[in-house]
Structure 1
Amino acid sequence: MRIKDLTLDEMTPAQRAVADEAIAGKRGRVPAPLRAWLHSPELGRRAQHLGAFVRYDTSLSPALSELAILVVARFWTSHFEWYAHAREALKTGVSPDVIAAIAARATPPLESEADQIVFDFSTAVVTSGRASDALYARAVAALGESGVVELVGILGYYTLVAFTLNVFDIGLPDGETSILKA
């Protein structure tokens, strides 16, 4: 890890308050990117609040959210993000074949129209920063306007997470290896 991984005893009161808030929240722990963000406690506080919302409280089903997160993790080859969210995706019912295909940068065998729209929209947005009018219309028809706004929020937040994990070289837990190839 390129940045000091602070222990609770090393944290300033502001850093400790942010860490304590994360631990007391839905995550129950300090998430990996917050380990870097704690060096800017206000960024950490705001980012972890956004993260809690886009992870747990949007109108999208957990499976659709995890599908979008996997697209981001794979695009940026974020090993820790992939490690954490491939497991979560399985728990939400995302097929192992879909996860393997995304890992291999192949077309996943998606079963529902909503899955296909989330995959297509997420792929377009992370690769170009845009969605065509037709794709946007499909997404709104399937997810509603608030769902599309929330999907864009998921993509943006998890891009921030991927950048943080990659730039600060926050590695996998001991004994774990990544399946992602560059």
Structure 2
Amino acid sequence: MTRLPRLTPASLTDDQRELYDAIAGGPRAGGPFPLTDAEGALTGPFNAMLFAPPAGQALQRLGAAVRYETALGDRVRELAILAVAAHWDCAFERYAHEPAARAVGVTDAQLAAGTLPDDLSAVEAAALRFVDALLEGDVDDVTYAETVPTIGNRVAVELTTLVGYYATLALQLRVFRVTVPVEQP
């Protein structure tokens, strides 16, 4: 049971409506899962953002940037998101991003392998080693020296930001008990 009431479009304040429109009408609208339920309430982490519109606006802008405005390859981005989901045991992030990963060529075998599948390109493997280190709490000097020359400084910064963003979402999803939508037959 979710801890926050579902906010429908008719119940929103002006600030909430502006945020709702930015989420529902932005680049996420074409994503792999429905952003709204049958009543128009936002799904996943997005409903929680409506309860604090200034923070929600900043968070949704950051999320849009790490999803749609980075130098990260699509496969690296989705594998990194799924590594965060696995680390935080976040069912909603897996629900939302496994279809996106498959759509960019991540195989079921790679998904099942965990955070560092065997059959990745050199860039993908380096990026995911960097992500694994971030998820353990820090990137030591050896890992940094072994990965950053392959992925570059920009990708290192973007991966660090992506891991922080999706860790924030995973925490909110857990605290507010947001569950994966039940599929309708």
TM-score, length basis structure 1: 0.89
Give the paired residue count: 172
Q: Secondary structure at the match of 2:103?
A: helix
- Which of the numbers 152, 163, 178 marks the counterpart of 1:155? 163
Mapped pair 1:90 → 2:114: no
Runs of 4+ with deviation above 3 angstroms: none
Cα distance in 2 between the residues matched to 1:82 and 1:4 = 23
CA distance in 1 between counterparts of 2:95 and 2:145 reads 32
The question of whether the paired residues in 2 share the 8 Å contact of 1:60 and 1:143 is answered with no
How far apart are 1:31 and its partner, in Å?
5.7
Q: CA deviation at 1:138?
A: 2.6
Amino acid at match of 2:158: E
Q: Residue in 2 aligned with 1:111?
A: 120
What do residues 54-107 of structure 1 show as CA deviations (whole Å, max 9, x unaligned)? 0111101111011110110000000000111111111111121110121xx7x5
Instruction: Give me the TM-score of the superposition, normalised by structure 2.
Output: 0.88
1:160 Cα deviation (Å)?
Answer: 0.5
CA distance 1:114–1:31, shift in 2 (3 Å) = farther
Report the equivalent of 1:179: none
Preserved contact between residue 72 and residue 155 of structure 1 (Cα < 8 Å):
yes
Name structure 2 gaps, 5 residues minimum. Answer: 30-34, 36-41
Segments of structure 1 that go 5 or more residues without pairing to the other structure are 177-182
Deviation, 1:147, is: 0.9
Superposed CA RMSD: 1.5
Q: Which residue is equivalent to 1:10?
A: 11
Which SS does the other structure have where 2:5 is aligned?
Answer: coil
Determine helix, strand or coil for the equivalent of 2:180: coil
Which residue number corresponds to residue 80 of structure 2? 68
Match status 1:37 vs 2:49: yes
Equivalent AA in structure 2 for residue 132 of structure 1: D
